[in-house]
Amino acid sequence: MCWLWLFLAIALEVAATILMKYSEGFTRLGPTIGMLVFYAFSLAPLAKVLKELEVGAVYAIWSALGTAAVALIGMVLFHEPANGLKVFSIALIIVGVVCLNLSGGHGVSRPSTQEARKQVPELRLAAAQITANVSKAAEAGR
């Protein structure tokens, strides 16, 4: 079932991207509002999928299939050039997604919410140390 949610998220994201093209740089109100709505709605099914599958695999599939779909729609709907290299590149994207799925491991051994919460103080400390180092580097660069 989570695959259906993922494909819904991809379809909504693709629709939003096509509406962005129709918005003509956000100068047309209808397509601009539609774009924002579809992008917002694409995140809900994506978040639902992330409860069950690994974020790296989900994002790779979401972005790759979305990219391939938008490229194909651009060729058909907007008469963008369809040269051999472009078609080959889209095929490589699809092959990459298939290989990613064949690699397995989707949703295996994720930490529980309690385990993840135990890591929060360590992550905050690491973030504070990074921030301090960046501040020191910025001051040294002045």
Please, is 105 exposed, middle or buried when counting C-beta atoms within 10 Å of its C-beta (0-12, 13-18, 19+)?
exposed
Kindly indicate the confidence band of residue 66, based on its pLDDT and cuts at 50, 70 and 90.
very high
CA distance linking residue 68 with residue 112, whole number of Å: 34
Please provide the DSSP assignment of 25-50 as one string. TTTSHHHHHHHHHHHHHHHHHHHHHH
Highest mean pLDDT among 32-41, 57-66, 80-89, 126-135: 32-41
Concatenated DSSP letters for 65-123? HHHHHHHHHHHHHS-----HHHHHHHHHHHHHHHHHHHT--TT-SPPPHHHHHHHHHHH
What number is the average pLDDT over the span 33-48? 97
pLDDT mean across residues, the chain: 86
80 and 74 in contact (C-beta within 8 Å)? yes
- At 129, the amino acid letter reads Q
* Rounded Cα–Cα distance for residues 15 and 55 (Å): 22
| Confidence (pLDDT) at 122 | 76
Query: pLDDT, tens digit, for every residue of 93-105?
Result: 888 888 877 777 5
